[in-house]
Amino acid sequence: MREALAGLTVRGRAFVAAGVTAVVCAVLLGQPALTRVGVLVLALPLVTALVLGRSRYRLALVRTVSPPLVTAGQQARVTLSLSNEGRTPSGVLLLEDHVPYVLGTRPRFVLEGIGHGWQRQVGYQVRSDVRGRFEVGPMSVRVSDPFGLVELGRAFRTTSALTVTPRTVALPAIPLGGSESGSGDNRPRAFATGSAEDVTVREYRRGDDLRRVHWPSSARVGELMVRREEQPWHSRATVFLDNREVAHRGEGIASSLETAVSAAASVAVHLTRRGFAVRLVTAAGEDRSSGWHERGAEPSTAPLLESLAVLRPTPAPRLDTAWLGEAGHGGLVVAVLGAVQQHDAPVLRRMQSHQGSALALALDVEAWVGATGASTAPATGLLAQQGWRVTTLGPRDRLEARWQELGAGARSGARRAAPERRTTEVGR
């Protein structure tokens, strides 16, 4: 009852004040009829608070976000399933779901006729142009009487996550080079002596099919071993994203960092569709949550895109090189770079030498603040000296066109190398 009295609305408090005033005036003026009116006006909010405070309603909420992973600019639907497990009916329900401002305005619903076993389902749509992971909820509930005299507030604690990934664009197919680089379990082998079974098995890894377990080798070694030759081999590619604060310009969704993130996401999706196993490496090192795909699994960019959705700029002024010391991670590397300084040259040289083929998208970061692209020319020149195939990406450039330029550079290089090969053959 105390909670119900504290939940009196402005209208309810006005009724109480009017009732008390009417009773006092009736006593002072000797008007019994006015006393009855004052008692009626005073009793109405008090009785309403008593009835509403004693109502035993138990609301259950199930929130569903579909789909939980969307691309920036796409809509997701939030469905709220409500039910009343209490034994007595309640008044009018006023629902308000708390959502971040980037997803839109807070949805509000008014539901009536809430009795025992009552169930209702409502929904609304959310949309974000900004990448990130957002919490939808919690939902607050206010129970009101039909007269609007008393409101009781309740709040659910549960929330649901919605991940908004960066925008991607479809990229054309280009000669990538190094497509046969990388490591896998089904690489051709020649056996001069001994049994092939002894060299074509490896230790069991989580996710391997148990039907591929090689029991004789497992019994001999003492741990599960699987046949190596039956495992599929995937080409590997590394997407490197320079997310240092000092390497980018601009703020918000119009910054050079957001363009770099979108470019890295587009490249990762493109490479995955071409059969590459893709990992993400940032200026802070390898992202373990989006590492190489499991053997036998279909290529999927969902973990990598989720990592890009929550990527933040790092204050580190230099590029991390710990991941370059790992063996067996050759193949293709595609770097999306911001402003490159001279002290980054050794890292870029090591990065290119550790991979089978190296491509770079160098952002003209000064163009994001209206300055000239003077700082980009040294960056592209430095990358070209290190053996990179590089092109420049500005704020007004189309990514697919710049990606096509990388392929055109590879074809021209192949045409220049062809006559040399023919000359060498004739010389023999």
Mind listing the pLDDT tens digit for each residue in 280-334? Answer: 999 998 877 666 544 444 456 788 999 999 999 999 999 988 887 654 456 889 9
Asked if residue 108 belongs to a domain, the reply is yes
Clarify whether residues 333 and 411 are in a common domain. Answer: yes
Sign (positive/negative) of CA torsion 102, 103, 104, 109? negative
- Residue 93 near residue 114 (C-beta atoms within 8 A): yes
Q: Does the pLDDT of residue 378 top 70, yes or no?
A: no
Clarify whether residues 202 and 309 are in a common domain. Answer: no
Asked if residue 373 belongs to a domain, the reply is yes
Clarify whether residues 281 and 403 are in a common domain. Answer: yes
Confidence at 390, pLDDT banded by 50, 70, 90? very high
Cα separation, 279 vs 236, in Å, equals: 8
Asked if residue 14 belongs to a domain, the reply is yes
Query: Which CATH number does the domain housing residue 140 bear?
Result: 2.60.40.10
Clarify whether residues 243 and 223 are in a common domain. Answer: no
pLDDT attached to residue 183: 42
pLDDT attached to residue 123: 93
Asked if residue 334 belongs to a domain, the reply is yes
Asked if residue 175 belongs to a domain, the reply is no
pLDDT attached to residue 299: 53
Q: Where a domain ends, among 120, 143, 165?
A: 165
pLDDT attached to residue 293: 47
Mean pLDDT is highest, among 186-195, 201-210, 371-380, for 201-210
Cα angle: 82, vertex 83, 87; to 5 degrees: 150
Clarify whether residues 418 and 271 are in a common domain. Answer: yes
Amino acid residing at 33:
A
Asked if residue 110 belongs to a domain, the reply is yes
Q: Which residue has the higher pLDDT, 348 or 91?
A: 348
Number of Cβ within 10 Å of residue 356's Cβ equals: 18
pLDDT attached to residue 308: 94
Clarify whether residues 245 and 334 are in a common domain. Answer: yes
Domain enclosing residue 319, as ranges: 235-424
- Residue 216 near residue 197 (C-beta atoms within 8 A): yes
| Strand ranges across the sheet with 119-127 | 59-66, 75-84, 119-127
The total number of structural domains that make up the chain:
4
Clarify whether residues 250 and 377 are in a common domain. Answer: yes
Residues 47-63: pLDDT tens digits?
A: 888 877 776 667 889 99
The model's pTM: 0.74
Query: Which CATH number does the domain housing residue 377 bear?
Result: 3.40.50.410
| Mean of pLDDT values over 164-190 | 67
Number of Cβ within 10 Å of residue 307's Cβ equals: 19
pLDDT attached to residue 424: 31
Asked if residue 181 belongs to a domain, the reply is no
Asked if residue 372 belongs to a domain, the reply is yes
Clarify whether residues 221 and 242 are in a common domain. Answer: no
pLDDT attached to residue 21: 92
Clarify whether residues 32 and 85 are in a common domain. Answer: no
Residues 100-133: pLDDT tens digits?
A: 999 999 999 888 767 777 788 999 999 999 999 9
Q: Where a domain ends, among 54, 74, 98?
A: 54
Q: Does the pLDDT of residue 167 top 90, yes or no?
A: yes
Clarify whether residues 333 and 420 are in a common domain. Answer: yes
Clarify whether residues 277 and 418 are in a common domain. Answer: yes
pLDDT attached to residue 143: 80
Clarify whether residues 322 and 420 are in a common domain. Answer: yes
pLDDT attached to residue 88: 63
Q: Does the pLDDT of residue 261 top 90, yes or no?
A: yes
Residues 225-255: pLDDT tens digits?
A: 887 654 445 578 899 999 999 999 988 888 9
